[in-house]
Structure 1
Amino acid sequence: MEREYTSRNEQPMMRWCWIVAVMVFSTALGNEPASLDERQARLETLHEEIGEIGERIAAERDRAGGVEAELARLEQRIGDERRALAGLDEQIQANAAEVAELESAVARETAEAQQHRAFLAATIRSAYRRGQADMLRLLLGENDPAEVQRLLVYQRHLGAARAHRLTQAQDALQSLQARRAALSEALARQRTDREARAVALATLQSSLGEREALLADIEDRIERGDAQIASRREEAASLASLIEEIEARLGEERLGAEPPDLPARQGELDWPLEGPLLARYGSQRADDLQWTGLLIGAEAGTEVTAPAAGRVVFSDWLRGMGLLLIIDHGNGFMSLYGRNQALYFEVGEAVRAGDVIATVGRSGGRHETALYFELRADGEPIDPVAWLQTGGHQT
């Protein structure tokens, strides 16, 4: 009769052991390490970097923000320079066209002045010759002196008119030449200014290219860091998935040994060990996550005790947690103990409050020896400090 009773009670336990074994085996197949040592070595390499990833990503994001602001300023300046160059090009084009028109006008005025000058010279020579002949005729008495005088006055007036037109043409030419010189000087200044702005624009564009390359490099580093963070989150997700699977599979087969009044024991449970709190529930981690449990510092080999009675539902190595022990206390309460050096209970074994269940270590590739302690209610993490006795640890 006793054998039959034992067999009936062992059936659900064997079923549970098989579930956990399959889960652990599936987790192990994810990376297919040749040995546990190699897997732990890879994890140790990963965790040597993971502690700095969060801070490095935050610094890179701050730096990226600064580079983006600088890019915005450079792009604004480049836009201003392009607008200034476009305005200068329009002015240069207009002034060059006006200079060309002035060149044509100067050429026309020069030709006209030359014509006036030549005609005036011819007129003067002709008047001189006629004046000499008229004077000779006047002296010889061949013509009326009044007529001769009238002709001389006419010649003088004609010469004066020609001289006046020549003076006007020369004044117009000088005005055009002065305007052309001023406009040419302004055009030369504008072209010099344009060359300087073109050099400044090229420098700005070069700086922009450098900043864009720098930003791309920063974003690439952030992306790689995010990938590493994602890998770390996968580890946390694997643990959460394990807890959910345990909760779902247990159902009516929960093996809790704690009486139904466990929720009433809030603030009365013993601490699993004494030591400084290295991380509190809800505090920020370096990998951009929050702690869902406590990290209690202790020397390697320090004994870990169960705060309450229950039954072991997981006792094995888990990625990111090292050697992990999970106790089901019934009523939806479970406690987790990670990073251990050794585990003293197997799946299915009953645990009493105060039993030594493990020893502290740094398994899972950790650098510091500490116990990771987590308490869950209905699969969700809760603050263990609220359930443990006050003063049961070193602050």
Structure 2
Amino acid sequence: MMILRALFCVGLGLSQPAMAQTSPDPATAALAASERLGRASEALGKAEGAQNRVKALTETITAFEDGLEAMRDGLRRAAVREQALAAELRARDEEIAQLLGVLQTMGNAPVPVLLMHPAGPVGTARAGMILSEVAPALDARALSLRDKVQELSMLRALQQSAANKLQEGLEGVQEARSALSAAMAERTNLPRRFTEDPVKTALLIASTETLSGFASGLSEIAVDEAPGSLPDISARKGALPLPVEGTILRRAGEADAAGIKRPGIVVATRPRALVRTPAAATVRYRGPLLDYGNVIILEPQSGILLVFAGLDVVYGQTGQVLPGNSPVGLMGGAGAEGDLLLAADSQDMGSERTQTLYIEVRQDNSPVDPLAWFKTDKDD
């Protein structure tokens, strides 16, 4: 009788609904990311023999960055799901132990004791009815627990496999970045609208204290500038892609930690992220400037300047005309080792975007809100 009561109580306790799995399937996400990284690796091999190596390597780095983002997201989901499963199993330890104790007691009890009831045949019949109701619930719950334990084991194996693939992808993107730097140094077939006068550039830098003052004197450093301008991009206003993948950290006019307000936006991005020009543009200046770090100033059309500040590596030469989506530099950061370190903390998404790119748009030498020109998620 005591065995039946215990069994009935355990059956009721374990028949409660299991925790719903509302998050997307991490295994599917990791598999898709693995395939994307595989395609990026193949593209890297083909890029070496491509006629336009810069374009091919730019596309390869973009593919690697997208694949790594997806892989980190898959790892993040797997870690969250693993924690949820482990917490659920820990919370039900007492019930599971109670179930195992009852089943062990039943296994050790003589068969006649299990079949007989002190109240006689009627009690025995009632006990049988209780068993017939509780047994399916016990069976279903045992299967559910088994599935959860198996899923937990699968998630741990998935994370190890994904971590290995992530490391391969990080090595691949580093190789692609190195190849891109070499290809940029070898590229000599771009048109030039003017040549830079280094003496006038140095004097301009020394005599200006603001970005506005520097921008207003850019025409002074150009020698033998070709007349005309690149095609008007006014029709693309509000639709230009951001030059780097990231999230808006500060909008125009928002104060930073030091209380300084600037007319541009700040984009938080990953270490070593590739920065590209959103449209065909002339390089008006590249190099260190004031307190902005490494800067590149692009002119997509006469009267409009795009200022990107905070890069670690800057590509291109002053006076060159760059096609749209051309690489103009790389963000700073720890590189491959830093990427791996950040990837290990797969749940802290914000900590991965440790670099910041400052973007300013100037029209007729007056700053305008960059978000009026670039296509972004306005809720970022």
Relative to the length of structure 1, the TM-score reads: 0.39
Relative to the length of structure 2, the TM-score reads: 0.40
The structure richer in helix per residue is 1
